[in-house]
Amino acid sequence: MSVTVVVGAQWGDEGKAKVIDLLARENSVVARYQGGHNAGHTVVVGTEKYALQLIPSGVLYDHVTPVIGNGVVVDMPTLFAEIDRLESRGVSCAKLKISSQAQLIFPWHQSWDAISEGNLGDNKIGTTLKGIGPAYADKARRVGIRVGACVDLESFAEQVRERATAESVNVVHAGGDALDIEQIVSDFVEYAKRLQPYIGDTVGLLHDAVDAGQDVLLEGAQATFLDLDHGTYPFVTSSNPTAGGASVGSGIGPRLLDRIIGITKAYTTRVGSGPFPTETLGEIGEKLVDIGREFGTVTGRRRRTGWVDCVMLRHAGRINSLTELALTKLDVLDTFDEVKVCTGYRINGEPVHGYPDRSDVLGQVVADYITLPGWKTELRNCRSVNDLPAEAKAFITAVERESGIPIRIIGVGPERDDVLDWTPASIFGGTA
């Protein structure tokens, strides 16, 4: 029995779904523990591409029980659209279980998202406008409606009507459009009927799996530096994607977490506003966007790009107690004449100790780099360490050394099998 947590070690979009898909082969349960349909996890299987938002990546395996944990906020229209899409392509969602303690998203949450972003003007956060933040805010205010409320349709309808009525008045007062209350009630009662077979005690389910000796995988959305507490506040998500959030959002206590894998690209990307020490504009930045196809899975927005930042990775290692890293999208750097690794920060020429705990300070830092020769070789067909050119090995070794975290998995292409093992033995000429 083991419990593995997968977390993003940057600002998201690191390729978590691919790693989760790889690990799911050996796991019986895969559970989402936070976030909502603002996640965009893409898995490529042959010529087929699956873009997942709410449903855990392990759903592509028949032996996996996919779980949406208590820490997730659930948008029922998106959930059912996703289920329908998957099942139309032959992927069964019959085993899906959703925590009765998860919070629901409603149209007023999306209204508040749009109003809030509009009021911020040039200082907008860059939210996906999907109602995620307002839903978590309602959870904290103790006025949210949980998935478990869907079991009693009459009571559920009353709760929705009461909340929609109150929220419509407030939305209009804030400059938004009035809500169609009865339409919302009617629509969401129908959604609730459909949701009922999926509702369950997922904390009990997960612990039963652990007690039975099954392997469990906890899947995070977003990433460490979008964490509500530890990210580049206020340019963050509204939940805790870090390893600590995995325990809270699943109900599996921290003593049961065996393996905590941080996912990092061989470079860095970020969507939306906020400081970005290694951001690279101009030709290099455009090349990373074009080759890496750096556009949001959910939003379609262009991602900002830059070199890999080992100061970030060291901090992510501390916050999450990372046992290892998975380095993805190494192949995106195949054609570069040289590649860079950020090793430290400076402000006004003076070294900065560690990762700044304030976003305004982070916005002032200048990155220090080591520059390495590129490998100018296609890595797509590499399946072992011995297949990698020396220059690629040197880059991986540099990231491992500067981050202080052992690297285990290397991604060398978009498909699920475009991976190889990297172990300490391989650095010294051994076999992976």
Q: Which residue has the tokens 């349960």?
A: 29
Asked if residue 425 has pLDDT above 50, the reply is: no
Instruction: For 371-406, write each residue's pLDDT tens digit.
Output: 999 999 999 999 999 999 999 999 999 999 999 999
pLDDT at 269: 96
In this structure, the number of other CB atoms found within 10 A of the CB of residue 400 comes to 21
With bands split at pLDDT 50, 70 and 90, how would you rate the model's confidence at 1?
A: confident
Q: How far apart are CA 302 and CA 270, in angstroms?
A: 9
Instruction: For 228-244, write each residue's pLDDT tens digit.
Output: 999 999 999 999 999 99
pLDDT at 297: 66
Q: How far apart are CA 423 and CA 431, in angstroms?
A: 8
Asked if residue 255 has pLDDT above 60, the reply is: yes
> How remote is the C-alpha of 342 from its chain's centroid?
23
- Least trusted range by pLDDT, from 25-34, 85-94, 418-427: 418-427
Q: Name the helix (H) or strand (E) containing 43.
A: strand 41-45
Q: How far apart are CA 202 and CA 95, in angstroms?
A: 12
Three-state DSSP state, 8: strand
pLDDT at 117: 80
Asked if residue 122 has pLDDT above 70, the reply is: no
Three-state DSSP state, 18: helix
- Least trusted range by pLDDT, from 44-48, 351-355, 382-386: 44-48
pLDDT at 38: 81
Structure tokens at 124: 């907008």
With bands split at pLDDT 50, 70 and 90, how would you rate the model's confidence at 166?
A: very high
Q: How far apart are CA 85 and CA 77, in angstroms?
A: 12
Q: In whole numbers, what is the pLDDT of the chain averaged over residues?
A: 93
**What are the residues facing 290 on neighbouring strands?**
none
The CATH number of 103-197 is 1.10.300.10
Structure tokens at 62: 């028949």
With bands split at pLDDT 50, 70 and 90, how would you rate the model's confidence at 432?
A: very low
Task: Indicate where the chain has its CATH 1.10.300.10 domain(s).
Answer: 103-197
Instruction: For 34-45, write each residue's pLDDT tens digit.
Output: 999 987 777 877
pLDDT at 298: 66
Helix, strand, coil shares of the chain as percentages rounded to 5?
40, 20, 40
* CA-based R_g, the chain, Å: 22
The CATH number of 3-29+216-241+258-427 is 3.90.170.10
Task: Give this prediction's pTM.
Answer: 0.92
With bands split at pLDDT 50, 70 and 90, how would you rate the model's confidence at 126?
A: low
- With a CB cutoff of 8 Å and minimum separation 6, the contacts of 89 are 48, 50
Query: Which of the pair, 140 or 44, is modelled with greater confidence?
Result: 140
pLDDT at 123: 66
Identify residue 261 by its one-letter amino acid code: I
Q: How far apart are CA 307 and CA 235, in angstroms?
A: 20
pLDDT at 295: 86
Contact 316, 262 (CB under 8 A): yes
pLDDT at 68: 98
Positions marked active-site: 13, 41
Instruction: For 328-344, write each residue's pLDDT tens digit.
Output: 999 999 999 999 999 99
Task: Indicate where the chain has its CATH 3.90.170.10 domain(s).
Answer: 3-29+216-241+258-427
Average pLDDT over residues 136-157: 98
Please choose, from the candidates 152, 136, 139, 126, the residue with its C-alpha nearest in 3D space to the C-alpha of residue 272. 126
pLDDT at 125: 65
